[in-house]
Structure 1
Amino acid sequence: MNIDNKIKGSLVSKKKSLSMTLFEKLSKIIESISHPAFVSLAMRFALAIPFWKSGILKWDGLFQLSGTTIYLFSNDFMLHLPGGPFPFPFPPVTAFLSGVGEVLFPALLFLGLGTRFAAAALLLMSIVIQLTIPAGWPLHLTWAAMALGIMAWGPGVVSLDHLISRALRSRSISLP
C-alpha cells in the first residue's frame, strides 16, 4: 500500500509539474506579446486616434473652423452640470481650443513627445466631453483609463521622450 501511494503521489506530482510547465510556457508567450514597449505604444495610439479624427473634422482649413463646429458649440453642445445644462462659455473660442487640442495632443502622443502632458490634457478633454455627452460614458471611461495609464507609466521606449531622456542622461554623465 505504501508503494501504491508513492506511485500515485509521483504521478500527481508529474501532472502538476507538466501543467505548471504548460502554464509557465503560456504565461511567457502572453508576456512576450504584451511587452511594455508594445503596450505603451498601443495605448498612445489607441487614445490618440479618436481625438485626432474628431479634431480633423472640426477644420475647413489652416486655423479655419468649420461652420458646423461653431454651430455645434454655440447651439447644441451643453455642459450637463447640476442646475444645468449650461452652454459653453465663448463658443467660438471654446470650439477653436477644442479643435487645436484634438489635433495637437494626439500628434504629441503619436510622437511620444510631452507624452504625460498630452495624456493629461486628453484626460481633461475626456471629462469635458463626458459632461457634454453623458450617455457616452463607456467610451469616455475607456479614454480616461488609457490617459491615466499613459500618465502613470509614461510613453515607453518607442518615443521621443525616451530618446531625449537618454540623450540628456548620457550628456550629464559625460560632463566634467
Structure 2
Amino acid sequence: MTLSVTPIELRRALPTRLIDGGRRLLARFPVSLTQLALRVALAAPFWRSGLTKWDGFLHLSDSAVYLFSEEFRLHLFGAELAMPAPHLMAFLSACGEIAFPVLLVMGLGTRFAALGLLLMTAIIQLTIPDGWANFHLPWAAMALAILTHGPGRLSLDELVARRFGS
C-alpha cells in the first residue's frame, strides 16, 4: 500500500506547515525579552515628556507650570474644568514621568510603576481626549500587560525575589 500526495494536497499542506513552523519558532523566543521590550516601550514616551518639564534638579520649567495652569483642562461629563492645584499637578506629573520610567526599565517595583503610568494615562486621556487611539490605548494596553504578566526575568524584581525567596 503506497500513499501518494497530489499536488493540490501538497499546496494545501504547505501553508499549514509554514504557519506551524513559524509558531514553533516564535514559541522559542524568550518571553523575558518581550517583557523587557514592553517595559522600555511604555517608559520611553513618558521619560521624554518628563525631561521637558524640568529646568534643573527639582525645579519645574515655566512651560510645565504654564501648561497645567493655563492650557490643560479636564474633560468631564461634557465640561472643561481647570486642572485642580496646577502647580502640584505639574510637579507630580513631572516626578512620575521621570521616576516611573526609570523603575520600569530597571524592573524594580515594576507593577507599581506600570500602575502609576496607567493612572497617568487615564488623566492624560481626560485632558487630551483626542489622543486615545494613537497614544493612550497602546500605553494602557502595555501597562495592563506589565501589570498582569509582571516584569519578567530580566528585572531587578526577579533578582530580589530570587535573592530573598519571595
**TM-score of the superposed pair, with normalisation by structure 2:** 0.90
Equivalent in the alignment of 1:69: 64
Q: 2: distance between equivalents of 1:22 and 1:90? A: 58
Q: 2: distance between equivalents of 1:66 and 1:156? A: 36
Equivalent in the alignment of 2:86: 91
Q: 2: distance between equivalents of 1:137 and 1:158? A: 30
Report the CA distance between 1:28 and its aligned residue: 2.0
Equivalent in the alignment of 2:48: 53
Report the CA distance between 1:17 and its aligned residue: 6.4
Equivalent in the alignment of 2:109: 114
Higher helix share: 1
Greater mean deviation of Cα atoms: 78-87 or 99-108: 78-87
Larger Rg: 1
3-state SS in 2 of match to 1:11: coil
2:143 corresponds to which of 130, 144, 147: 147
RMSD: 2.1
3-state SS in 1 of match to 2:28: helix
User: Which residue identity is paired with 1:106?
Assistant: P
Equivalent in the alignment of 2:127: 132
The 1:18–1:100 alpha-carbon spacing in structure 2 relative to 1, beyond 3 Å, is same
User: Which residue identity is paired with 1:156?
Assistant: G
Structure 1 unmatched ranges of 5 or more: none
Q: 1: distance between equivalents of 2:113 and 2:119? A: 10
Q: 1: distance between equivalents of 2:13 and 2:128? A: 53
Q: 2: distance between equivalents of 1:18 and 1:144? A: 38
Percent of aligned pairs sharing the same letter: 49
**TM-score of the superposed pair, with normalisation by structure 1:** 0.85
Report the CA distance between 1:157 and its aligned residue: 0.3
Report the CA distance between 1:32 and its aligned residue: 3.1
Equivalent in the alignment of 1:161: 157
Report the CA distance between 1:27 and its aligned residue: 1.6
